[in-house]
Structure formats: structure tokens, C-alpha cells
């Protein structure tokens, strides 16, 4: 949940992800709030977070928040579900100068909307996430608390993020990896599939073909609505200035930025920063 921190001056919207998956969330925010200033941070040098232990993920999270503390942010949207579920153990939210909106909150809001669209209340929901996210059990517990009659099944998908960061979003290799990770879930036939990683919407077309008939919930659609509801207009800088930072830069990263964001941002520059 968002903290109770109060901003005394206008600032940008910070977005933090382990890599480029958070751009799916950034895209929806830019579309809904085209004049808002954005500061995006992707820790591309150390991804994927989902295969690492809780202690190191928490350290990376603290370093990212230290980065945002040095910038004028009105809030930080944590796009990385791995951080959202297990990355806050060494972070004292009450001492941050900005409130946090995390991916789990956004995903659960979208899931609620998807459930309302069904004619009948769902019996089975599937979770797709990184090893760290799935093994944390956080989403399983939250869903059981919210929807005790629903069967929750899950699959860790460690090859999804490397596949997506390589720009392979469709085709035979993508389908093979989806089959490898998800074949047991397909047999269960869930009515809703929750994408517990902001990278995963980039292979959503292939996933929809695989889980035919299922609805998909993810964190890429509700972030802007939550921001609008939580932050007064006076707390947002509106110069349409967008700054993108990565911890490792190469041409493939810039190509992926252009592919994900398309014509939304026109010409842009990426800056490499060090967090450690």
C-alpha cells in the first residue's frame, strides 16, 4: 500500500524496475498522464532479480530508493513484482521522502476488475511469476484472503525475463518456453491468469494463444488510475519531461525502449548510472 508520506513540493513520477519490463507500466502512465514528468530506473546490469535471494534483492531495492531520494519525485511506482513481494525488508518506508505504489497493489486492482467481467465467479486463478515472487507465497496468501473459495495455482517462469529482454516476444522459441513453464497450469484451465511480472505483458499474445479463453490480469493498466487517485495535481510536475536511466547500456536496450514505447516519447536519451 502507498505510504502516508506527504510531499511539500511538486515532483516527477518515479518508476523502478529490475530491467525494461516496467516500461509496459510506464507506457500506460504516459498514455493516461501525457504531461507528467517521468523518471524511469531500470537495473539492467543486475537483472533478473527473480533468481536472486531476498537479502540481495532488498539491498538492490534500498539502492534504487536512494537514487530516487536524490531526485524530485512525487511518488515511486515499483514495477518489479519481485521487489514488491520481498524487496522491502531493509527499507524504512516512513523515512522516505516519497510515497510508494507497488506492483502487487496495482495487479490486485486489475484482477478485481477482471473478476467483475466474468459472468460467473472464477474457480481457478493461475499465477505466473519469477522464482522469487512465486516462492515468497505473497500473492497466494493475498488471493486466499481476498477470495477464499478460489483455487490458486502457480508456476515460476525463470526463462521469461531473459527471453523478453532479448526481444524474443513471439515465435517458436517463445512458445517452447511457455510450454516448458506452463504445461501443468494449462491442464488446470484457469479462468484468469495473473501476470506477476511487468515483463510478461510483452509476450501476452503468445500467452493468450496458449491459455485460450482465459482473462489476463497485470499491473500495466491500473497504475495511472491509482496515481491519479492518490496524488493531488499540485504534487506533479507537468513539463512532459521523461528521463530514463539504466545501470547497463547497450544498443539492444535502446532498441527495446523504442519497441515498447513506440512513438509515445519521440527522440529520447538513456543515461547509465551506478547504484552500487
Catalytic residue numbers, as ranges: 80, 197
CA distance 223 to 25: 7
Cβ atoms 112, 21 nearer than 8 A: no
Q: Report the C-alpha gap between 252 and 250 in whole angstroms.
A: 6
Between the CA of residue 34 and those of 26, 163, 202, 237, 270, what are the distances in Å?
11, 30, 22, 11, 19
Nearest to 76 by CA among 200, 199, 230, 197: 230
Instruction: Tell me the torsion sign for CA atoms 89, 40, 94, 103.
Output: negative
Amino acid at each position: 500500500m502507498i505510504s502516508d508520506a506527504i510531499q511539500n513540493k511538486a515532483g516527477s513520477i518515479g518508476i523502478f524496475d529490475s530491467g525494461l519490463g516496467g516500461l509496459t507500466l510506464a507506457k500506460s502512465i504516459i498514455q493516461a498522464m501525457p504531461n507528467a514528468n517521468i523518471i524511469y530506473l531500470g537495473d539492467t546490469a543486475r537483472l533478473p532479480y527473480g533468481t536472486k535471494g531476498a537479502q540481495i534483492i532488498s539491498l538492490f531495492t534500498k539502492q534504487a530508493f536512494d537514487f530516487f531520494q536524490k531526485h524530485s519525485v512525487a511518488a515511486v511506482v515499483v514495477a518489479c513484482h519481485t521487489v514488491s513481494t520481498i524487496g522491502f525488508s531493509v527499507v524504512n518506508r516512513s523515512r522516505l521522502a516519497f510515497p510508494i505504489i507497488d506492483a502487487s497493489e496495482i495487479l490486485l486492482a486489475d484482477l478485481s476488475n477482471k473478476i467483475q467481467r466474468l459472468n460467473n465467479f472464477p474457480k481457478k486463478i493461475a499465477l505466473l511469476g519469477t522464482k522469487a515472487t512465486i516462492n515468497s507465497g505473497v500473492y497466494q496468501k493475498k488471493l486466499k484472503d481476498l477470495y477464499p473459495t478460489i483455487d490458486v495455482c502457480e508456476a515460476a517462469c525463470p526463462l521469461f525475463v531473459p527471453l523478453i529482454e532479448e526481444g524474443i516476444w513471439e515465435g517458436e522459441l517463445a512458445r517452447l518456453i511457455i510450454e516448458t513453464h506452463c504445461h501443468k497450469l494449462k491442464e488446470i484451465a484457469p479462468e484468469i491468469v495473473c501476470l506477476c511480472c511487468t515483463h510478461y505483458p510483452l509476450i501476452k499474445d503468445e500467452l493468450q494463444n496458449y491459455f485460450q479463453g482465459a482473462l489476463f490480469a497485470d499491473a500495466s493498466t491500473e497504475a495511472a488510475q491509482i496515481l491519479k487517485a492518490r496524488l493531488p495535481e499540485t504534487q506533479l510536475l507537468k513539463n512532459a519531461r521523461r528521463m530514463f536511466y539504466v545501470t547497463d547500456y547497450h544498443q539492444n536496450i535502446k532498441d527495446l525502449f523504442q519497441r515498447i514505447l513506440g512513438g509515445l516519447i519521440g527522440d529520447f536519451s538513456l543515461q547509465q548510472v551506478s547504484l552500487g
